[in-house]
Amino acid sequence: MKRLLARTLLVVTAGLLMGAADGSWLRRVPESARCRTNPLPDQQAAAQAGLHLYANQCARCHGDHAQGKGSRPPLVSERVARATDGELAWLLRNGNAWKGMPSWSSMPEAERWQLVAYLRRINRNGSEPPTGAVQGERR
Partner 1 sequence: MALRRKSYPLLAFYLLLSLVPVRGAARAQEPPYFVTYSHVMEEPGNLELASQNLYAAPRDTNAFYAQTVELEYGVTAWYTAELYLQGQSTERDSTVFTGFRIEQRLRPLRTEHWINPVLYVEYEDHNHADKSFLEVVDHDVISDQQASNAELRASVERALEGKLILSSNRNGFNLSENIIAEKSLSNKPWEFGYAIGGSRALASAASIRACRLCRQNFAVGGEIFGGLGTRYEFGFGNTSVYSGPTVAYRGPSGFTVTLGPEFGLNANSAQVLWRMKLAYEFSQIRDLWGRAK
- Interface with partner 1 includes 39 (CB under 8 A)? no
Q: Rounded CA gap, 131 and 137, in Å?
A: 9
- Interface with partner 1 includes 28 (CB under 8 A)? yes
What backbone torsions phi and psi does residue 85 show, to the nearest 5 degrees?
A: -55, -45
Rule CB under 8 A: choose which of 6, 11, 81, 97 binds partner 1. Answer: 97
CB-based burial, 11-40: b 16+ in 10 Å, e otherwise? eeeeeeeeebbebebbeebeeebeebebeb
- Interface with partner 1 includes 82 (CB under 8 A)? no
Rule CB under 8 A: choose which of 34, 65, 69, 79 binds partner 1. Answer: 69
End-to-end Cα separation, the chain, in angstroms: 49
| Burial class, 65, CB count within 10 angstroms (exposed 0-12 / middle 13-18 / buried 19+) | middle
Residue range at the interface with partner 1 (CB under 8 A); choices 42-50, 79-87, 119-127: 42-50
Residue range at the interface with partner 1 (CB under 8 A); choices 76-84, 100-108, 120-128: 100-108
Please report, as ranges, the residues that interact with partner 1 according to CB under 8 A: 13-14, 16-17, 28, 40, 45, 48-50, 52-53, 55-57, 60-61, 69-72, 93-111, 114, 133-134, 137-139
